[in-house]
């Protein structure tokens, strides 16, 4: 099932905008949270399928800096789903060699959730098979702003010269730090926008949009998307073959 493309040995990084949970539930006459709960099951399956699919890095968008606009009930439901996912999946992730990390601004999150996030990051820090990164309270503009502030602080303290602010320095100052840039960004549910996800990192990513709602998205669907990705010619600005 691994994609057949020649990837020059580079790790494949797939980033997913998991969209459509709410509509999936509403279509069935269920509360939106039922869609999020079903969506969490798909996350487990997709994470477990990564090694077989040749995906070394999986980054998933779970909660954006804009998602605070939703009802308190939905926000609290999502936050408790994140807590439950971390506690219940910890053993499986360890068994499957999954290293879990988070990106986004965690400071406004519930302290209990913040503690769990730190706990699972250190517990899985030595795992190397699949690098799972979950974006919670993440926004590309927010991330770039925080990085710019940190770099400006370093310059102001005389620890850095303005000339030291290179593209590499900016990449390293982002939450994604030393993670490779995504090769492919997938968005489910038929929406064709980026919604503030990995704005800097996806500069040369390929994009795939599928009409499938996230709670219906299975590893076989990801395999199909990867097969299409494998047929693409990435040029990075060079002349076409």
In angstroms, give the least distance from the CB of 206 to ligand IPE: 19
CA 218 to chain centre: 17
61 binds, among ligand IPE, Mg ion, none (CB under 5 to 8 A by kind): ligand IPE
**Which of 23, 146 has the CB closer to ligand IPE?**
23
Q: Find out whether 218 and 49 touch, Cβ atoms under 8 Å.
A: no
- Torsion of the alpha carbons at 15, 111, 40 and 25, rounded to the nearest 10: -110
Catalytic residue among 8, 21, 56, 67: 67
Whether 19 is catalytic is yes
206 neighbors 184 (Cβ within 8 angstroms) = yes
| Residue 19 is a binding residue for Mg ion (CB under 5 A) | yes
Nearest to 61 by CA among 138, 120, 121: 138
What is the binding site for ligand IPE (CB under 6 A)? 17-23, 61-64, 67, 78, 189, 191, 193, 195
Q: Does 215 bind Mg ion (CB under 5 A)?
A: no
Partner in contact with 131, chosen from ligand IPE, Mg ion, none, beta carbon below 5 to 8 Å by kind:
none
* Residue whose CB is less far from Mg ion, 19 or 143: 19
Give the nearer residue to ligand IPE in terms of CB position, either 71 or 122: 71
Question: Is 21 considered catalytic here?
Answer: no
Residue with tokens 């502030």: 149
* Smallest separation, CB 72 to ligand IPE (Å): 14
> H helices of the chain, where?
21-27, 32-53, 72-95, 111-123, 140-156, 167-173, 219-230
Residue numbers annotated as active site:
19, 67
């Amino acid at each position: 099932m691994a994609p057949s493309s020649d990837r020059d040995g580079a790790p494949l990084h797939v980033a997913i905008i998991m969209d459509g949970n709410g509509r999936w539930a509403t279509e069935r006459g269920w509360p939106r949270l039922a869609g999020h709960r079903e969506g969490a099951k798909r996350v487990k399956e997709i994470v477990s399928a990564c090694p077989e699919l040749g995906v070394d890095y999986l980054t998933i968008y779970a909660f954006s800096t804009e998602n605070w606009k939703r009802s308190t009930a939905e926000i609290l439901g999502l936050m408790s789903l994140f807590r439950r996912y971390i506690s219940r999946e910890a053993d499986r992730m360890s068994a499957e060699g999954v290293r879990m990390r988070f990106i986004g601004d965690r400071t406004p999150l519930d302290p209990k959730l913040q503690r769990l996030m730190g706990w699972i990051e250190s517990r899985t820090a030595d795992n190397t098979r699949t690098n799972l990164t979950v974006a919670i309270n993440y926004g590309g503009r927010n991330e770039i702003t925080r990085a710019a502030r940190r770099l400006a602080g370093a310059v102001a303290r005389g620890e850095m010269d303005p000339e030291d602010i290179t593209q590499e320095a900016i990449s390293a100052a982002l939450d994604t730090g030393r993670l490779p840039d995504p090769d492919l960004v997938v968005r489910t549910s038929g929406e064709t926008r980026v919604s503030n996800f990995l704005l800097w990192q996806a500069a040369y990513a390929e994009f795939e949009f599928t009409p499938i709602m996230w709670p219906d998205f299975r590893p076989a669907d990801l395999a199909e998307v990867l097969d299409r990705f494998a047929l693409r010619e990435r040029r990075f600005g060079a002349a076409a073959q």
